[in-house]
Amino acid sequence: MEIVKILMITGVCSVYGVRFEFGDKSEDPCILLDIDAEFNLEYHDVAKNTTEIAPKFDLQGAEVVNKSSICGDRQFDTVLTVRIFPTREELKFKFEKENKNQISMSLTLSLKPAAHFSDLNGSLPLDMQDSKNLPAGSYSNDSYKCASEQLMIFDQYQPYTMVAKIKNFQVQAYNVENGNYGPVNECPLDHTSTTEAHTTEPVTTVPPETTITTQPHSETTMTTQPHSETTMTTQPHSETTMTTQPHSETTMTTRLPITTQPATINNYVVSQGNEVCIVLRGKMSVEIPYMTKDNKAAKVNVSIPKETTASGTCKYNDSDSAQEIKLSFYDGWDLTFVIVKGGKSGYMLDDSDDNDFSWQEISLTYVVDEQFPNARNPGENNTVVQIDTFGQFKANLDGSYKCNTKQSIQLQTNIKLDVSDLQYRAFGTSSDPGFSSDNVSECAADKKDDSNDRTLAIILGAGFGGLAVLIILAGVVYRCKQKKYRGPYDEI
């Protein structure tokens, strides 16, 4: 009889977060996982038109489920299943081998709604799966590490939405030797953050056969255009180059200073071939709270600048019922909108002949840069996602949505997006990047303003008309009185 020894360390706090280990048929583990994960779950009551946010939960106290975990190899994928405390829901990590031996991690949560929402007793469990896997290294003897925060957005299962914040992540899902991590491969996010943090520091140590050459004419010119527009022009020789023998070069780029610009009305277009599918025009800004180095709360208001690049897709997630537009600006900032046809909710959308469209999701990626004075965490990258925007800014499929009035959309973590002078259309099939005057859906705020203007005009018109009538009557009465009191000499 073969004795199978199961290794399991549950909820152990480590330098990188909670540690999980699993192994079968040997004393050494076949998988090592350190992770910090925070889950944000929402329930949308369509009948009451309300949203309830569940208390956040994490992996502290979770335990490995032996019978649902698998040590993978060239043929089979590694699976690690843990049971969350105290809800006892099972969370499955699956490490899938992809092209070129790359590994990706997917998450599946067996959700028990009643464990998070008191009003949902009797609701059936359901599986929620992430919509996009995270990189998890390669099939080798190396481990993979990513301390930076990453988001995993789960496919929307009406009426639930969930986002997981992953950080302090290190894993080796294959070829673990002696129960220890192999050589570490860091994720690009960590590498970028480290590079940016040190590009402005002087280099004091030079390895043998390494020379460091700095171009002498590094300069940045700021030219102010009329109408309060600021243009930043960087000379082509503004760079610092590290050259290692023989002939290999690594370029270190220093982040350019950012000049805060006032919000302006900008135009953005997403096209595919000769078809313009999305046209967006508007004035946008975001209000972001942060903590200063002396632990004081502060906030900044950042406008989307004129120098913004628009990209996106006319077929989001391979569906004809969803489209995406991404606005990229400054260094590492992105504002993304997902637009869907009416009657659809979630990412797995089928083709539809619905006659309207609206916003489904808004996400903002930003960097704590020079626009955050005295910030406690300079250089930090953050992403917030607001999925509960379905039905906002709705318009007919052959028309557009328009709202000149300022509107505020509350994103997660108290971040606010302000939009004004907005007009947009989606699912276009022509080459025209403009807006038609037909089928324009105006927001209620604009209609209210127009109604107020008409009411004011009526009141003023009636007032002036009444005043004119009074003046005429007064003149007639005066003339009558004058005629009545004329004497005989007046008649002659």
pLDDT tens readout for residues 216-262: 444 434 333 444 443 343 344 434 333 344 443 434 444 444 555 67
Among 26-35, 77-86, 183-192, 319-328, the least confident range: 183-192
pLDDT at position 450, please? Answer: 52
pLDDT tier, 392 (very low <50, low <70, confident <90, very high otherwise): confident
Cα radius of gyration (the chain): 31
CATH fold, domain 266-442, is: Porin (2.40.160)
pLDDT at position 486: 54
pLDDT of the residue at 130: 87
The answer to whether the CB of 336 falls within 8 A of the CB of 376 is no
Provide CB contacts within 8 A for 30, sequence distance 6+: 22, 23, 24, 71, 72, 78, 174, 176
pLDDT in tens, 149-192: 898 888 766 688 899 999 999 999 999 998 999 999 998 888 65
Q: What percent of the chain has pLDDT over 90?
A: 38
Average pLDDT over residues 460-470: 76
Yes or no: say if 212 and 239 are a contact pair by the CB < 8 Å rule.
no
Of 105 and 195, the one with more pLDDT: 105
Given this model, what pLDDT does residue 260 score? 59
Whether the full predicted model's pTM is greater than 0.75, yes or no, is no
- Hey, which residues does 57 pair with through a beta bridge? 39
| Overall size of the chain counted in residues | 492
3-state secondary structure 339-373: EEECCCCCCCCCCCCCCEEEEEEEEEEEECCCCCC
Question: What pLDDT score was predicted for residue 425?
Answer: 95
> Would you state the pLDDT for residue 413?
61
Confidence of residue 25 (pLDDT cuts 50, 70, 90): low
Q: What is the structure's pLDDT at 213?
A: 40
Mean pLDDT across the chain: 78
Residues 469-487 pLDDT 10s: 788 887 777 777 666 555 5
The average pLDDT across 461-467 equals 75
pLDDT band at 386 (very low <50, low <70, confident <90, very high): confident
- State the architecture of 7-190 in CATH terms: Beta Barrel (2.40)
Report in angstroms the alpha-carbon separations of 391 from 40, 328, 358, 359, 379.
Answer: 22, 25, 5, 6, 35
The two structure tokens encoding residue 363: 């996400």
- Residue 200 predicted with pLDDT over 80: no
Q: With cut-offs at 50, 70 and 90, classify the pLDDT of residue 16.
A: low
Lowest mean pLDDT among 148-162, 176-190, 284-298, 428-442: 148-162
Q: Report, as an integer, the average pLDDT of 123-143.
A: 88
Secondary structure of residue 481 in the 3-state scheme: helix
Given this model, what pLDDT does residue 273 score?
87
Q: How far is Cα 104 from Cα 86, in angstroms, rounded to an integer?
A: 28
Return phi, psi of residue 464, to 5°: -65, -35
Q: What is the rounded average pLDDT of the residues 262-275?
A: 88
pLDDT of residue 476: 75
Q: Which segment, 1-10, 216-225, 256-265, 270-279, is predicted with the most confidence on average? A: 270-279
The string of pLDDT tens digits covering residues 203-218 is 333 344 433 343 444 4
- The pLDDT of residue 194 is above 80: no
